[in-house]
Amino acid sequence: MSFHFEKLLVYQKPVVFADAVCRESEAFPRGYGFLCDQLNRAALSIAASIAEGNGRFTRRDRRNFFGIARSSVPTARRLAASAFAELVTGSVSRREMSRHLPAALRFAWFNRAAAAVISEVIC
């Protein structure tokens, strides 16, 4: 059985993003567990909040959860930027960082389109 929100692009994009973050963060070097954990939580929170908001009955409740999803986007972007900074300035070389974080994922982490789509749903 498929839920209505699963067909929405605003839900599908964060799911792809969260899957990519979870998959790629497994390849982070040892010692970055704290950052991986926070990044995974922020990425998963976007889609989870959209799903939970769609399960609410009142407009006010839905808007609240969509607002939580929207606020999770910049959090995930900031954590991704921190991950890059840690990897670049740490013991990991730029070449090794590129191997752990493919170009498509780097683009997705800094893409503002997800925030824009979530904003459209709220307004």
| Domain map (residue ranges) of the chain | 4-122
Residue 41: name the closest of 92, 67, 97, 80 by CA.
Answer: 80
pLDDT in tens, 11-69: 888 888 788 778 777 777 777 788 888 888 988 898 899 889 888 899 898 888 888 88
Which residue has tokens 């040892």? Answer: 30
Which residue has tokens 């704290």? Answer: 34
Query: Is the CATH number of domain 4-122 1.20.1440.60?
Result: yes
Q: Cα 5 to chain center, whole Å?
A: 17
Burial class (CB in 10 A: 0-12, 13-18, 19+), 105: middle
pLDDT in tens, 107-122: 444 445 544 554 454 4
